[in-house]
Amino acid sequence: MKKRLFVTGLSGFVGQHIQTRLKADASEWELLPVPARYDLGEPGSLDGLWPDMPDAVIHLAGQTFVPEAFRDPARTLTINLLGTLNLLQALKARGFNGTFLYVSSGDVYGQVTESDLPITEHQPPCPRNPYAVSKLSAEFLSLQWGLSEGWPVVVARPFNHIGTGQKDSFVIASAARQINRIKQGLQAPQLEVGDIDVTRDFLDVGDVVSAYLALLEKGTPGQVYNICSGREQSIRSLIEQLGDLAQVDLQLIQDPARFRRADQRRVCGSSAKLAQTTGWTPEITTQQSLRAILSDWEMRVRQE
């Protein structure tokens, strides 16, 4: 008999990939349907949300866009911290005692010196934006809840992930959309970009989903796990690879409006703890990711 899994944020980028995986996979998890619309900011909307008790919960839902967190930090904290509290309280009231996977972010580490790369879970968090503050706060809340209630709570810290279905407010999705617009004759062969000479640790969303499912099965309660590729790649190199794959000649135009404050120049994480605990390893190459993203945006641009 399959175990029941409840996932918040199912309509989002990663949530959609979880839905696809569990439908296609001979998984031991059954995704619980959502009987009614709910808002984690409205505790009353969570009443009656679980006619069937979940065996595990992946808490994905949240405000994830860093520039938006600077524009409206109060809303970001309300969604990411108080929304998590409302979820935990509703699950407690329902009698839940299964595994709770809180999806945080590698952004909680903040500024990390190059001598401390790759970033391990031993690196002290030092959040540099309201989004990261909200995620770290919700981490502590979730872990405290696990201690107080005796739930197996695990925290995931995914680094940058890319893949099909991502909003074009994120850099690789934005580049793929613009490249397809150029290819379809909808814009000049110029790509508007921000600061692309930084490195990031990119992982395909499919590998991220695999990591979440592995942590549900084998993660140690009370522990925090990085989810990352262990490789740093410059944003410029990924955009150039997109251009090469699409066979489009590009002129890159830097747009000051796309620059972010408090940006780390280099990011590279270590997923050694995750691999040691669960046996997880990345399986999707950067080239496979970029080809899929380009194909996805080709269809989306045609539909715009």
- pTM: predicted TM-score of the whole model, two decimal places: 0.95
Reading the block at residue 1, the tokens are 């008999």
Give residue 264's pLDDT: 81
Burial (Cβ within 10 Å: 0-12, 13-18, ≥19) of residue 249: exposed
Q: Give CA 179 to chain center in angstroms.
A: 24
Q: Which helix (H) or strand (E) holds 161?
A: strand 161-162
pLDDT of res. 262: 45
Along the 304 residues of the chain, how does pLDDT read in single tens digits? 899 999 999 999 999 999 999 987 678 899 999 888 999 999 999 998 999 999 999 999 999 988 899 999 999 999 999 999 999 999 999 999 999 999 999 999 999 999 999 999 999 999 999 999 999 999 999 999 999 999 999 999 999 999 999 999 889 999 999 999 999 999 999 998 888 999 999 999 999 999 999 999 999 999 999 999 999 999 999 999 999 999 999 999 888 877 765 468 899 999 999 999 999 999 999 999 999 999 999 999 999 9
Task: Concatenate the DSSP letters of all residues of 263-303 into one string.
Answer: --S---B--HHHHHHH-------HHHHHHHHHHHHHHHHHH
* 3-163+203-230+268-283: CATH architecture: 3-Layer(aba) Sandwich (3.40)
Identify whether the C-beta of residue 66 lies closer than 8 Å to the C-beta of residue 131: yes
Domain 171-196+233-265+294-302 CATH (choose: 3.30.70.1560, 3.40.50.1820, 1.10.150.20, 3.90.25.10) = 3.90.25.10
Q: CA 303, CA 197: separation in Å to the nearest integer?
A: 32
Q: Where are the domains of the chain?
A: 3-163+203-230+268-283, 171-196+233-265+294-302
Residue 65's SS3 state is coil
- For 284, other C-beta atoms within 10 Å of its C-beta total 18
